[in-house]
C-alpha cells in the first residue's frame, strides 16, 4: 500500500525556533561548484579555488586552482594556458588522498594530500569527466574485486572533439599507480571497457553510488523525457563489471508524471514490518514536473532498487557495452514504480536519507532556501515536516548534501557561496520525558540512567547501562498516553487499558508501574493484572461508573519519571446525538469506539487511526450556507505573515474564523475575523514556513469550507535608500532598494514611533519621510521595514539636514514667458527639479505654477530656474516655494540703481559734504570766540577777587600781620588762603602751615 503525504509546510514547532541556533557557516568568494566530506575535513570547490575546512569551519586552507600550460606546435613555438575548473572531487579515504579532475584543454587530474591540500602528490593531463564546464559529469569510488576504481561519466565535448576517449560515456579509472595501466588508466588486462549510449548529446548524469556488490547510476534522458537507472554487478574485473549492464526506467508518480530527476539518496539496511525484502536497497529521489508555478511541482518518492527483484533482469535499450554502433542496445527497459510518495513541495532541489532504528529520516533542500526534516515510519507513513533552517532570501540549496561522517548529528548543505553545518536535532532543549517525547523526533530520546542525570539526548550519547526511551515505532501519536474502555460480554465488568506510546532501547533496567485512582479510593479490582510496559490494565465493576461519568487519575511511573493523566470515563452508550465531528471526538476521547456514526463499547483495533483522522468535520444539522472564497489579498507574502489580509467571496455571514493549514493537518493555525460584511472579511495571516498553504473559512459547527491558496515567500531585505538624505520638515520621497519588497507593510524611523505607509508599484517601494523637528545640523535616523509583526532594519541609514534656505528671486520677461530665478544656499540635500514646486503670486489668492527648468549649482549658491508660461502681461509680487512639507514665500530682490541716478547723486553728496564742512568750520570759530570772552571775564573776576582779598587782609590783625620792624608785612599765603578758602577752617590752617614750612626750608638753604 502506498501512503502519500500531502504537502507539509507547517512543522510541529513546540517552541519558537531560532533559525541560527547551533549552526555554523562559512562564506566563500565564489559560488560553490561541489563539496565533499572526509573524516576530518570538508572540501569545497569554487570556480577558482579549492578550500579545506575542518568540520566546524574554524580552520580554513585555500588553494588556487592551477593554470595548465600546453605547448603549441605552431611556428614559432608558443604555449597555451587553460584554467583548471574542478568537476570531480573525491576524498579517497583508504589512500588518504583527495582526487580532483576537471576541465582544461583535454582534461587534467591532480591528487592532493587528504590532510593538507597544499601538497600535490601527482598530476596528469587526462580526460576524466566532461571537458565543457557546463556539461554533466559524475564520479564516485567503487570497489571491484580487491581494487578501488573511479566510476566516471562524461559527455562528449561539443568544442574539443579532438581529445582522446571523448566518445566514452562511462568507464572505470584506476586510483593507484600499481594497478594495471597505471593511475587514471581505464584499460583492463586485455581491453579498454566502457559504456556507450545512443544519445550521448542528450544526456544528464544525476547520481551514482555502490551498495554492497552492485553499482547504480541515475540519469535523465531529455529527448524521451524519462529517468533512467543503469545497474552493474561488481565482478572481478572492469570488463566483467561493465558487461553486467542492466537498466530500468523510473516512473513517477501517480496521475501527474514527473519525468526529471533532480537529486537522490540511497537508503541502505533492512526495513522490517512493511512487507519489504530482507537486504533490500531502498532509494529516494526528488522528481519534478518542470512546472515551477505548481505548488506540488516536485515529489519525494521511495523506490526498491534491489538487485534481487525481478525488475532489473533485462538489457538496456539505450546503453550498451562499448560502441553502440558496433553492438546496438538490446532488450526493453522495465518500469520501476515507487513504493511510496512521502512528500510533495513546489521546489525541492536535494535530498539526504538516513535510517535511524525503524525510522527513515529525510533531509530535504528547497529552491527557496529551506532545509526540511521529514520522518517516515516503517509503514512509509510520514510524520509532520519540520523546518531546520530557512534563509531570508531565495538561494537554492545545492543538489548534494552530506551527513557528518564522524558524529552523524550534522547535515552539510550549500547555498550559493555559503556552506552550512546544521544540527539534525536539538535534543537538549527538552527537559522532561514528556517534552522529549512530544518533539516526535526519532533522533531524540529520554536517557534514563542510574549513574548519570536523566536527560533528552541522542541515542549514542546515552551511555550503557542506560535505557533510551524514544517515540513508538508504530504510527505517529498525538498523545503520549492513550486509553480505551471495553465492557465484558456480561456487562458486569469494564476494562480500562492505558497505553504509553514509548519504545525502550538499551540494557539498563527500567521499572514501570500504574496506579488508577478515583476521588475516594483505588479503582481496580485485586485481580488486576500486573503492569507491563508499554500498557497497563484496570478491571473494575460497571456499577462504579455513574451516569454522569467517572473522573479517574492514572499515575504512571516509567523509570524515575512520573506521568499523571486525568481521564473522564463515560458510558459509551450514553454518548448520542447528531453524528458530528464534535460527537465523534467526545466518543473517541472517552475511550470508546466510533463506527458507522455511532459511539459504542466495541473494542478499538490496535491500528485505529487517530482522532483527527476518524472524526472529520461533518454536517451539524444547522442551516449554514457554504462559504465560497473568491480571493485573498495578498495571496503571496513573506514567512513573517501579513496583517489585515482581505478575503472576498460570498456566504461569509456565519464564518467565525479563518484556518490556515498545509495539505496535511499537522499544525493548524486559526485567525479571528472582523469587518465581516458577508461578502468580505479581514483577518491576520500568521507566520509560517516557505511554500503554499490552504486557507478555509470555519463555521460554528467546526466545518472548514471554501478553499484558497496562500504562498509564503522569503523575508524582505533593505539594502539601500535613494536618496539617503532628507530635509527636516519631511515628506521627501525615498525609494527603498532590496528584495521581496512587495511584502512590506510599512516603514519605521527610529526617531518616530508611528509606521509610515508605503507604496509599491512595478517592483519599486517608496514612502514619504516624517518630519524631524528642532535640528540645526545633520542627524541620522535608522530606517526599518515593517513586515507583519516584525521589524527588519535597513543596511543603510537616512540623514536629516536642516530645511533648504531660499534667499531671494528675480523675474525677467522672456518673450511671452516670465523666467524666475531663485537663489538657494548650497547644501547636501541634492534636491531634484521634480521635488520643487514654485508658484508665482499675483494677488492674495491668485497663484500660477512656475514650470521647473533646471537647478544650477555653484560653490556657495544654487540657482533654481523656472518659467511661467504664456503670461505676456503677468507680473508677480512674490513666489511661493514648496519642498515636501517645507514652504517658503519670497519677495522680489531689489533692482540695482541706474547710472543716471548715480550721476545725479554724486554732486549732491559732494555739496552736502562741503556744506557740512563749512558749517562745522563757522561753528567752531564762533565757539572759540565765545571761549576767549569767557576766559577774559573769568580772569577779570579772579583779579577783582584778589584785590578784594588784599583789602580784607589789611584789616585783620590777629593772625595775618607779622611785625617786621615798624612796617606791617602781608604774607602771600594769606591772600591765597582767603581766595581759595574764604570760610576758613582746619584745611586752610593746614595749608598755611605747609606753605610756612616750605618757606622756612628755603630760607635755610
pLDDT score of 1: 34
- Mean pLDDT across the chain: 83
Name the pLDDT band for 81 (thresholds 50, 70, 90). Answer: low
% residues pLDDT > 90 (the chain): 42
Q: How many residues does the chain have?
A: 1005
Report CA-CA distances (Å) from 687 to 10, 644, 653: 10, 13, 26
Nearest to 32 by CA among 42, 22, 18, 21: 42
272, pLDDT greater than 50: no
Beta pairing, strands 704-713 & 636-638? parallel
Contact (CB, 8 A) for 99 and 92: yes
Indicate the DSSP class of residue 612. Answer: H
pLDDT score at 6: 34
SS3 assignment, position 204: strand
- Checking if the pLDDT of 171 tops 50, the result is yes
Mean pLDDT of 748-766: 92
Q: Which of 496-500, 701-705, 849-853 has the highest mean pLDDT?
A: 849-853
pTM equals: 0.79
- Tell me the C-alpha distance between 513 and 531, whole Å: 6
Q: Residue 824's pLDDT band (boundaries 50, 70, 90)?
A: very high
Give the pLDDT confidence of 183-202 residue by residue, as tens digits: 999 998 888 899 888 776 66
**Residues 684, 644 contacting (CB under 8 angstroms):** yes
Question: In whole angstroms, what is the distance from residue 704 CA to residue 255 CA?
Answer: 27
Percent of the chain with pLDDT over 70: 82
The predicted-structure confidence for 505-560, as pLDDT tens digits, reads as follows 876 667 788 889 988 888 888 777 777 777 888 888 888 888 888 899 999 888 88
Dump pLDDT digits (tens) for 204-224. 899 999 988 899 999 998 777
Tens digit of pLDDT for each residue in 780-790? 999 999 999 89
Given a cut of 80, is residue 612 above it in pLDDT? Answer: no
Q: Cα–Cα distance between 151 and 153 in angstroms, integer?
A: 7
- pLDDT the model gives residue 609: 59
- HSE value, Cβ hemisphere, 13 Å, CA-based, for 154: 31
CA nearest to 139, candidates 197, 84, 98 = 98
Distance, in Å, from the CA atom of 18 to the CA atom of 423, rounded to the nearest integer, reads 12
Supply the DSSP string of 114-177, one letter for each residue: TTEEEEEEEEE----S-SSTTS-EEEEEEEETTEEEEEEEEPPPSS-TTSTTTT--EEEEESST
pLDDT digits (tens, 9 = 90+) for 429-473: 998 888 999 888 999 999 987 666 889 999 988 887 788 889 887
Amino acid at each position: 500500500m502506498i501512503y502519500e503525504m500531502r504537502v507539509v509546510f507547517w512543522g510541529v514547532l513546540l517552541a519558537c525556533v531560532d533559525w541560527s541556533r547551533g549552526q555554523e557557516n562559512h562564506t566563500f568568494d565564489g559560488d560553490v561548484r561541489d563539496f565533499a566530506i572526509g573524516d576530518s575535513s570538508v572540501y569545497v570547490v569554487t570556480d577558482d579555488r579549492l578550500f579545506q575546512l575542518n568540520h566546524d569551519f574554524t580552520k580554513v586552507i585555500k588553494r588556487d586552482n592551477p593554470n595548465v600550460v600546453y605547448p603549441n606546435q605552431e611556428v614559432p613555438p608558443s604555449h597555451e594556458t587553460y584554467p583548471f575548473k574542478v568537476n570531480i572531487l573525491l576524498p579517497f579515504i583508504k589512500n588518504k588522498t583527495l582526487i580532483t579532475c576537471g576541465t582544461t584543454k583535454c582534461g587534467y587530474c591532480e591528487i592532493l594530500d587528504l590532510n593538507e591540500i597544499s601538497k600535490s602528490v601527482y598530476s596528469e593531463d587526462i580526460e576524466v569527466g566532461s571537458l565543457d564546464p557546463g556539461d554533466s559529469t559524475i564520479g564516485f569510488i567503487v570497489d571491484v574485486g580487491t581494487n578501488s576504481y573511479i566510476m566516471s561519466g562524461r559527455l562528449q565535448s561539443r568544442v574539443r572533439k579532438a581529445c582522446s576517449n571523448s566518445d566514452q560515456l562511462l568507464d572505470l579509472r584506476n586510483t593507484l599507480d600499481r594497478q594495471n595501466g597505471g593511475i587514471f588508466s581505464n584499460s583492463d588486462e586485455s581491453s579498454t571497457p566502457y559504456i556507450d549510449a545512443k544519445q550521448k548529446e542528450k544526456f544528464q548524469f544525476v547520481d551514482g553510488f555502490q551498495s554492497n556488490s552492485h553499482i547504480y547510476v541515475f540519469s535523465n534522458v531529455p529527448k524521451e523525457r524519462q529517468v533512467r537507472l543503469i545497474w552493474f554487478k561488481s565482478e572481478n574485473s572492469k570488463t566483467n563489471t561493465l558487461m553486467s549492464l542492466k537498466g530500468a526506467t523510473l516512473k513517477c508518480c501517480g496521475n501527474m508524471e514527473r519525468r526529471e530527476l533532480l537529486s537522490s539518496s540511497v537508503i541502505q539496511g533492512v526495513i522490517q514490518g512493511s512487507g519489504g525484502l530482507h537486504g533490500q536497497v531502498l532509494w529516494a529521489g526528488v522528481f519534478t514536473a518542470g512546472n515551477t508555478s505548481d505548488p506540488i511541482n516536485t515529489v519525494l518518492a521511495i523506490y526498491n532498487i534491489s538487485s534481487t527483484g525481478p525488475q532489473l533482469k533485462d538489457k538496456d535499450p539505450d546503453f550498451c557495452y562499448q560502441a553502440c554502433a558496433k553492438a546496438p542496445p538490446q532488450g526493453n527497459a522495465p518500469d520501476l514504480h515507487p513504493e511510496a510518495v512521502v512528500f510533495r513541495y513546489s521546489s525541492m532541489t536535494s535530498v539526504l536519507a538516513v535510517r535511524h532504528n525503524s525510522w527513515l529520516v529525510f533531509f530535504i533542500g528547497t529552491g527557496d532556501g529551506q532545509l526540511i526534516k521529514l520522518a517516515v515510519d516503517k509503514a512509509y507513513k510520514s510524520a509532520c515536516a519540520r523546518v531546520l533552517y530557512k534563509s531570508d532570501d531565495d538561494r537554492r540549496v545545492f543538489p548534494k548534501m552530506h551527513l557528518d561522517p564522524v558524529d552523524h548529528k550534522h547535515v552539510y548543505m550549500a547555498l550559493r557561496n555559503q556552506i552550512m553545518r546544521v544540527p539534525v536535532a536539538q535534543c537538549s532543549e527538552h527537559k522532561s520525558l514528556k517534552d522529549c517525547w512530544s518533539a516526535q523526533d526519532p533522533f531524540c530520546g529520554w536517557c534514563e540512567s542510574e549513574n548519570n542525570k536523566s536527560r533528552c539526548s541522542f541515542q549514542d550519547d546515552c551511555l550503557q547501562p542506560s535505557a533510551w526511551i524514544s517515540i513508538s515505532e508504530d504510527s505517529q501519536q498525538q498523545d503520549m498516553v492513550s486509553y480505551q474502555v471495553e465492557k465484558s460480554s456480561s456487562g458486569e465488568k469494564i476494562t480500562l487499558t492505558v497505553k504509553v506510546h514509548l519504545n525502550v532501547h538499551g540494557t539498563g533496567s527500567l521499572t514501570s508501574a500504574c496506579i488508577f485512582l478515583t476521588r475516594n479510593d483505588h479503582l481496580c479490582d485485586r485481580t488486576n493484572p500486573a503492569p507491563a510496559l508499554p500498557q497497563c490494565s484496570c478491571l473494575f465493576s460497571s456499577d462504579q461508573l455513574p451516569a454522569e461519568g467517572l473522573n479517574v487519575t492514572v499515575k504512571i511511573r516509567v523509570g524515575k519519571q512520573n506521568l499523571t493523566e486525568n481521564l473522564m470515563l463515560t458510558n459509551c452508550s450514553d454518548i448520542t446525538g447528531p453524528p458530528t465531528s464534535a460527537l465523534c471526538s467526545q466518543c473517541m476521547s472517552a475511550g470508546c469506539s466510533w463506527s458507522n456514526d455511532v459511539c459504542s463499547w466495541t473494542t478499538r483495533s490496535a491500528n485505529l487511526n487517530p482522532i483527527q483522522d476518524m472524526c472529520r468535520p461533518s454536517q451539524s444539522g444547522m442551516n449554514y450556507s457554504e462559504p465560497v472564497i473568491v480571493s485573498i489579498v495578498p495571496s503571496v507574502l513573506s514567512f513573517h505573515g501579513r496583517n489585515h489580509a482581505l478575503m472576498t467571496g460570498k456566504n461569509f455571514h456565519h464564518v467565525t474564523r479563518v484556518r490556515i493549514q498545509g495539505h496535511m493537518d499537522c499544525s493548524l493555525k486559526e485567525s479571528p475575523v472582523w469587518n465581516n460584511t458577508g461578502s468580505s472579511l479581514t483577518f491576520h495571516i500568521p507566520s509560517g514556513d516557505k511554500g503554499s498553504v490552504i486557507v478555509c473559512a470555519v463555521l460554528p459547527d467546526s466545518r472548514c469550507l471554501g478553499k484558497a491558496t496562500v504562498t509564503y515567500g522569503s523575508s524582505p531585505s533593505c539594502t539601500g535608500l535613494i536618496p539617503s538624505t532628507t530635509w527636516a520638515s519631511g515628506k521627501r520621497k525615498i525609494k527603498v532598494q532590496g528584495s521581496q519588497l512587495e511584502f512590506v507593510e510599512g516603514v519605521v524611523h527610529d526617531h518616530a514611533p508611528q509606521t509610515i505607509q508605503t507604496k509599491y508599484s512595478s517592483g519599486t517601494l517608496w514612502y514619504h519621510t516624517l518630519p524631524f523637528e528642532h535640528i540645526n545640523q545633520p542627524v541620522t535616523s535608522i530606517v526599518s521595514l515593517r513586515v507583519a509583526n516584525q521589524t527588519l532594519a535597513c543596511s543603510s541609514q537616512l540623514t536629516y539636514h536642516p530645511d533648504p534656505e531660499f534667499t531671494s528671486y528675480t523675474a525677467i520677461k522672456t518673450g511671452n514667458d516670465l523666467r524666475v530665478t531663485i537663489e538657494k544656499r548650497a547644501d547636501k540635500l541634492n534636491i531634484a527639479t521634480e521635488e520643487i514646486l514654485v508658484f508665482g503670486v499675483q494677488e492674495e489668492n491668485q497663484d500660477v505654477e512656475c514650470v521647473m527648468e533646471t537647478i544650477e549649482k555653484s560653490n556657495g549658491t544654487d540657482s533654481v530656474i523656472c518659467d511661467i508660461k504664456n503670461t505676456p502681461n503677468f507680473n508677480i509680487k512674490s513666489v511661493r516655494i514648496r519642498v515636501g512639507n517645507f514652504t517658503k514665500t519670497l519677495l522680489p530682490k531689489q533692482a540695482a540703481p541706474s547710472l543716471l541716478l548715480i550721476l545725479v547723486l554724486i554732486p549732491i553728496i559732494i555739496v552736502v559734504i562741503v556744506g557740512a564742512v563749512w558749517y562745522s568750520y563757522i561753528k567752531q570759530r564762533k565757539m572759540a570766540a565765545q571761549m576767549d570772552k569767557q576766559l577774559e571775564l573769568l580772569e577779570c573776576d579772579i583779579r577783582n577777587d584778589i584785590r578784594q582779598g588784599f583789602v580784607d587782609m589789611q584789616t585783620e590783625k590777629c593772625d595775618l600781620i607779622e611785625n617786621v620792624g615798624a612796617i606791617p608785612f602781608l604774607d602771600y599765603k594769606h591772600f591765597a588762603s582767603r581766595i581759595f578758602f574764604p570760610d576758613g577752617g582746619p584745611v586752610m590752617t593746614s595749608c598755611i602751615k605747609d606753605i610756612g614750612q616750605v618757606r622756612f626750608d628755603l630760607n635755610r638753604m
